[in-house]
Amino acid sequence: MVLDFDDIALRLGAAALAGALIGVNRDMQDKPIGARTLGLVGLGTATVAVSAIQFPGMAENPDAASRVVQGIVQGVMTGISFIGAGVVLRDAKSKTVEGLTTAATVWVTAALGIACGLGAWRSVAVAVPVTLVLLVAVPWIEGKLAKGGKLLE
């Protein structure tokens, strides 16, 4: 599959934008990973996906393409987990763990990057808003419930 310049720019730009949007939430929450980092995660994974599907012979051999995608998902998602793990902090004294949501945003941003790189636009169109709802609305709901409040007050 040979993509033209505009298609490549769209795929890579969308991945960087999706990551940056998620990162803005992390920046607003004063978390260690923000818009630049997650924008780069999305861009990087999309670049790998776009490059892989453009490799000569992929269009003629769908089995090879599926193996490449499998390798990307397996290798990149495993590797990207190390970045996420770097923000998880455990305090043995207070028995608390922090950074799990931020680590999860790294992982979902990588998945969005792969989806953008592969041109899976419907998946991206659903996943980005759902991710933002989880990051913005769910903490608000949790705060209301933790205070014993009603959600519709």
Say if CB 71 and CB 63 are below 8 A apart.
Answer: no
- Tens digits of per-residue pLDDT, 99-136? 888 889 999 999 999 999 989 999 999 999 999 999 99
Please give the C-alpha separations between residue 50 and each of 2, 53, 63, 82, in angstroms, as whole numbers. 10, 5, 17, 22
Q: Is the pLDDT of residue 153 over 60?
A: no
- Tens digits of per-residue pLDDT, 33-43? 899 999 999 99
- Tens digits of per-residue pLDDT, 1-27? 778 999 999 999 999 999 999 999 999
Q: Is the pLDDT of residue 64 over 90?
A: no
Specify the DSSP element, H or E, that contains 67.
helix 62-85
The residues spanned by each domain of the chain are 5-146
Compute the CA torsion angle 72, 22, 142, 107 (nearest 10 deg): 20
